[in-house]
Amino acid sequence: MDLFKIIDDIAQVDPEVYDRFNPRRAVFRNFLGFGKKVSAAAIPLAVSTLFTKAYGQTATLPQVVIDTLNLALQLEYLEYYYYDTALNSPGLLTPEQTAAFTIIRNDEKLHISTLRGVLLTAAIADPTRAGYDYTTSQNKTRSPLMPAFATLGGTTSPTTGMFTDNATFLLVGQNFVDTGVRAYKGGAANLITQKDILEAALNIHSVEARHSSRIRSFRRGGIQGATAPKSWITPDETPGALLPNNGVAGAPAMVSPYAAGADATKYPAENNTTQAGLALTTSGIASSTAGAEAFDEPLDAATVKAIAKNFAANPTALFN
Amino acid sequence: MSSFPPSHPVAPETDAPTLLAPVARRSFLRYSSAGLALGGLYLAGCSKDDTTGPSGSGLIDVGTGDTGILNYAYALEQLEAAFYTQVVAGAYYTGTASAAEKAIFSDLKDHEIIHREFFKAAIATGRITDALMPDFSGIDFAQRTTAAGSAKMGVLNAAMAFEDLGVAAYNGAGRFISNVDYLTLAGKIVSVEARHAAVIRELMTTNTFVASDVVDTTTTGLEKSKRPQVVLATANNFLMAGSKLSANNFA
């Protein structure tokens, strides 16, 4: 068997074949480990394993992995359409903000494509802009949860309208991105058996945290602003504005991006200062403020869904 | 997998792709990757005992398993804490730093010290030394950014290097962690490091919080994570002889 010839043949129809075999995707790493145990007679099987690993693996993805990534995907769409609407709302953003949110929207678009590339046919359908109602009116079936949220969409058509208030846009954007950071952090444990997918998710997680840092600096009037909020989450931000849970089973009755999730020990509020049983306030160097700031907290899937459903046009259609 | 001999010529993640640029990337991969695959068969004869790295190298190895990864994180946090401790005592901080910059660096120092002390307390057994000796001779603590013509890095440039490296390091280490609680803990820290990185980058140049040197902004939107051995090659530039590190079991 001429492995080089086979790979070259594939390259005729799939120019990306060499990238698929890139060692950073750990295909060869896995293959190496496998190779140790196989005899020459088993080489064809080993090669077939190699190609399976290079070309998608949805058929073998555990359901918990699919669920975790699909929740992440819905959050990415939530954010993508949010920033996209803002960028298409004339007069909403300063030029510096337009540049920043263009970068952020581009990242979310790529995250969507990366997640879809892993999930393949298991991915949810694109909810489109119409799937989301950022005024929190759930497509005019209730009043916006806060009066200011009415500026995040049209009155007659909350699922298509433009945004009109800069401060509200930044505030809700920060809440979205901080929820996303907590969701990826909470979801990482579900991916521990799928090392390449785990690493990709971690590599999205940190990009979301970079976004949060940037949005927070806009909210304090620029990077040289010395007021709140800081670029990291401070304990006085908890619990934040509490939102209804939309009947999500297992979520707390009221939820917020900064409050505790379901199982407050595992998913504490962002003012938590105890890590792995160690109190960060007693080491002599830490204040409760710095101790809380130095660690972000994960959030469970149920609580994330409960928060996000408030921004769905139809809360039964998304974040299930 | 951890038996990958450290001397193997193909590192899994190099952060110097430009070095490969003159060679057609695809043909390089064809021979390196495919060769690597076949190489796997030769390893069939190796025993499991071949895992130990070269001895007598003068490097402190972080060890194996989850303790090894925790030690790796502890070492990086020691380095960052030492750096910011020196920043807030330096002429830039005490002199020309703006109010916002002072507040930011003060917080960063506190956060990194807390991270360091956390790992010191959390790694009950098998912990590496608590007294890694940093070498910051390449940093000018009086300069906000690298001065024109200077061989030394400015404070912001060095901070950016440390923070971006820290994010890439935690992201690249996640796959080696077995215990889900440790994985979550690493996640709790890395997002704070990413917040730091973005702030420092914004202080240097507007809207560089995400840029192509640290994130793949064209195809995946993913942070460019780095494997421990790649990270340590950079980190060791800021450590004295005798305090330099290796991570032979994490390739």
- Taking only the tens place, the pLDDT of each residue in B26-35 is 443 443 443 3
Q: Does B203 touch chain A (CB under 8 A)?
A: yes
- Domains in chain B (CATH in brackets) are 1-51 (no CATH), 60-246 (1.20.1260.10)
Is A161 found in the same domain as A22?
Answer: no
Tell me the average pLDDT across A83-101. 98
Average pLDDT, rounded, for chain A: 87
**Terminus-to-terminus CA distance in chain B, angstroms?**
8
- Helices and strands counted in chain B (H then E): 7, 2
Q: Is residue A259 part of a domain?
A: no
Cβ within 8 Å, pair A213-B12: no
- Quick one: tokens of A210? 């970079």
- Quick one: tokens of A160? 């298509």
CB burial readout B216-240, b (16+ within 10 A) else e: bbeebbbbbbbbbbbbbbbbbebbe
- Quick one: tokens of B75? 């070492």
pLDDT for A50 equals 47
Compute the 3-state secondary structure of chain B and give helix, strand, coil in percent, each to the nearest 5.
55, 5, 40
Question: Is the pLDDT score of B84 beyond 80?
Answer: yes
Q: Does B30 touch chain A (CB under 8 A)?
A: yes
Q: Categorize the per-residue pLDDT at A281 as very low, low, confident or very high, splitting at 50, 70 and 90.
A: confident
Cβ within 8 Å, pair B114-A38: no
Q: Is residue A150 part of a domain?
A: yes
Q: How far is B127 from chain A (nearest CA, A)?
A: 17
Q: What's the rounded Cα separation, in Å, for the pair B204 and B206?
A: 7
Q: How far is A189 from chain B (nearest CA, A)?
A: 5
pLDDT for A5 equals 55
Q: Is the dihedral of CA B216, B219, B220, B226 positive or negative?
A: negative
**CA distance readout (Å), B64 to A110, B55, B102, B236, B250:** 35, 15, 39, 19, 8
Task: Give the model confidence (pLDDT) of A15-65 as tens digits.
Answer: 555 555 554 444 444 443 343 444 444 444 444 444 445 545 545 899 999
Cβ within 8 Å, pair A285-B110: yes
What's the gap between Cα A15 and its chain centre?
A: 30
Is A91 found in the same domain as A39?
Answer: no
Is A90 found in the same domain as A34?
Answer: no
The secondary structure of residue A136, as a DSSP letter, is S
Is A185 found in the same domain as A121?
Answer: yes
* Among the partner residues A11, A199, A294, nearest to B174 by beta-carbon distance: A199
Q: Is residue A247 part of a domain?
A: no
Is the Cβ–Cβ distance between B215 and B222 less than 8 Å?
Answer: yes
Q: Is residue A243 part of a domain?
A: no
Is A144 found in the same domain as A8?
Answer: no
Q: How far is A114 from chain B (nearest CA, A)?
A: 6
Is A179 found in the same domain as A42?
Answer: no
Alpha helices in chain A (DSSP H): 3-13, 17-20, 27-35, 43-54, 63-87, 95-119, 166-187, 195-219, 288-293, 301-308
Cβ within 8 Å, pair B38-A3: yes
Q: Categorize the per-residue pLDDT at A8 as very low, low, confident or very high, splitting at 50, 70 and 90.
A: low
**Which residue in chain A has the smallest CA separation from B175?**
A195
Q: How far is B46 from chain A (nearest CA, A)?
A: 8
Q: Categorize the per-residue pLDDT at B245 as very low, low, confident or very high, splitting at 50, 70 and 90.
A: very high
Which range marks the domain in which residue A90 is found?
A: 61-235+299-311
Tell me the CATH number at A211.
1.20.1260.10
Residues present in chain A in total: 320
Q: Is residue A284 part of a domain?
A: no
Cβ within 8 Å, pair B191-A38: no
CB atoms closer than 10 angstroms to residue B128:
22
Question: Is the pLDDT score of A219 beyond 60?
Answer: yes
> In degrees, to the nearest 5, what angle opens at C-alpha A289 toward C-alphas A284 and A294?
85
What's the gap between Cα B61 and its chain centre?
A: 15
Closest by CA to A165, choosing from A179, A181, A182, A144, is A144
pLDDT for B139 equals 98
Cβ within 8 Å, pair A286-B4: no
206-235 of B, contacting A, C-beta below 8 A: 206-207, 209-210, 215-225
Q: Which of A55, A70, A89 is the last residue of a domain?
A: A55
Q: Does B172 touch chain A (CB under 8 A)?
A: yes
The count of structural domains within chain A is 2
Q: Is residue A171 part of a domain?
A: yes
The secondary structure of residue B134, as a DSSP letter, is B
Tell me the average pLDDT across B170-192. 98
Q: Which of A55, A78, A94 is the last residue of a domain?
A: A55
**Which residue in chain B has the smallest CA separation from A7?**
B30
Is A198 found in the same domain as A80?
Answer: yes
Q: Is residue A190 part of a domain?
A: yes
Question: Is the pLDDT score of A293 beyond 90?
Answer: yes
**Terminus-to-terminus CA distance in chain A, angstroms?**
48
Is A174 found in the same domain as A82?
Answer: yes
Q: Mention every residue, 6+ apart, whose C-beta is less than 8 A from residue A156.
A: none
Is A186 found in the same domain as A109?
Answer: yes
- Quick one: tokens of B228? 């421990």
Q: Is residue A280 part of a domain?
A: no
Is A50 found in the same domain as A71?
Answer: no
Is A190 found in the same domain as A73?
Answer: yes
Is A10 found in the same domain as A92?
Answer: no
Radius of gyration over alpha carbons of chain B, in Å?
A: 19
